[in-house]
Amino acid sequence: METVRLGKTEIVTNRNGFGALPIQRISDEEAVSLICRAYDQGMTFFDTARFYTDSEHKLGLALKKVRDKVFIASKTAAVTRAAFWQDLETTLGNLQTDYLDIYQFHNPEFCPKPGDESGVYECMLEAKEQGKIRHIGITNHRLGIAEEAIESGLYETLQFPFCYLATPEEIRMVSRCQEADMGFIAMKALSGGLITNSAAAYAFVAQYENVLPIWGVQQAAELEEFLSYIENPPMMTKALQTIIDEDRDSLAGNFCRGCGYCLPCPVGIEINNCARMSLLLRRSPSELQLTEAVQEKMSKIENCIHCGQCVKKCPYHLDTPELLARNLQDYKEVLAGKAL
């Protein structure tokens, strides 16, 4: 079994963390059964967020009896003191606990620091003093803010997208975290569904000893795949490296990661899926993407008013309207019979 030490938090956990975003889409009963199975088989790190609707509630139902044997991280998007305390109290209530192991600022547009006008960093310190949180973390999709957080020395963990499609700058950030003795929690280790070989994904991140991937799981079969990595962690082999190299070639350049930070769109375009439809068609069962419901979503791209809001919010600086138009064109051609 491989473990990861999350820097100065001294949290040591199995290298397979549980990402609790997708459990929003399943019932309480299904979620509890999935989480209990994960815990029974050796997962001890669970990551959620106030923003993930009922995810915290479901984790609370499943983990309340084993609270002292697991690590729970949650997040707040609060930018005022009042919102911070409201979020924290709601989160603790939902999770049926009186403390969080890590409380993270959820993808803020600035790096919270003591003395800034939001006052939220001071709230973190106060919550720590009160014993309501044990460690302070930050999540982000922007390199600049992540770097500022590392340099500030104010954070014990950084959560950032990290997978084998990472750029050299992103890979450098992993070592910078290690130098600063900060835990690195990897979100989107499957790049939002674009990486389909989880063994290759695992073997890549496992090369970095301070990286903890949190796998977003919604179905029992997905969970079993990651549970099998507890006993038999995939090692990097020539065959896996070939898969990675091929994926890197085919996904090179600017592609939509599906993070959804550009939402909402004023005309209701589901950008996080529509802007990567060509990839989804070719990397997952295409029939799932050709249903009437998906066709309707794709047709909304025609309504784009080019307001530019999505471009401003995309942390990867994508020309989203252009990407959407290209994906729609390809989608129409596939519907008309173009071979995949």
Q: Which one of 158, 310, 328, 334 is in contact with ligand SF4 (CB under 6 A)?
A: 310
Contact region with ligand SF4 (CB under 6 A), list: 53-61, 169-177, 242-250, 254-262: 254-262
Q: Furthest-apart CA pair in the chain: how many Å?
A: 62
Give the DSSP letter string of 159-216: EEE-STT--HHHHHHHHHHHHTTBEEEEE-TTGGGT---HHHHHHHHTTSTTEEEEEE
**Given the complex with ligand SF4, which of 272 and 289 has the nearer CB atom?**
272
In residues, how long is the chain?
A: 340
Contact region with ligand SF4 (CB under 6 A), list: 21-29, 196-204, 255-263, 327-335: 255-263
Contact region with ligand SF4 (CB under 6 A), list: 9-17, 84-92, 268-276, 277-285: 268-276
**265 sits near ligand SF4 (criterion: CB under 6 A):** yes
Neighbours of 266 (CB within 10 A): 11
Q: Which one of 138, 163, 240, 304 is in contact with ligand SF4 (CB under 6 A)?
A: 304
Q: Are 78 and 87 in contact (CB under 8 A)?
A: yes
Exposed/middle/buried for residue 297 (C-beta within 10 Å: 0-12, 13-18, 19+):
middle
**167 sits near ligand SF4 (criterion: CB under 6 A):** no
Exposed/middle/buried for residue 290 (C-beta within 10 Å: 0-12, 13-18, 19+):
middle
Q: Are 294 and 287 in contact (CB under 8 A)?
A: no
Q: Which one of 239, 267, 288, 335 is in contact with ligand SF4 (CB under 6 A)?
A: 267
Contact region with ligand SF4 (CB under 6 A), list: 1-9, 128-136, 206-214, 299-307: 299-307
Supply the minimum distance, in Å, between the C-beta of residue 161 and ligand SF4: 9
**Given the complex with ligand SF4, which of 294 and 304 has the nearer CB atom?**
304
Sites of contact with ligand SF4 (CB under 6 A):
256-262, 265-267, 269, 271-272, 275, 304-310, 313-314, 316, 318, 320-321, 324
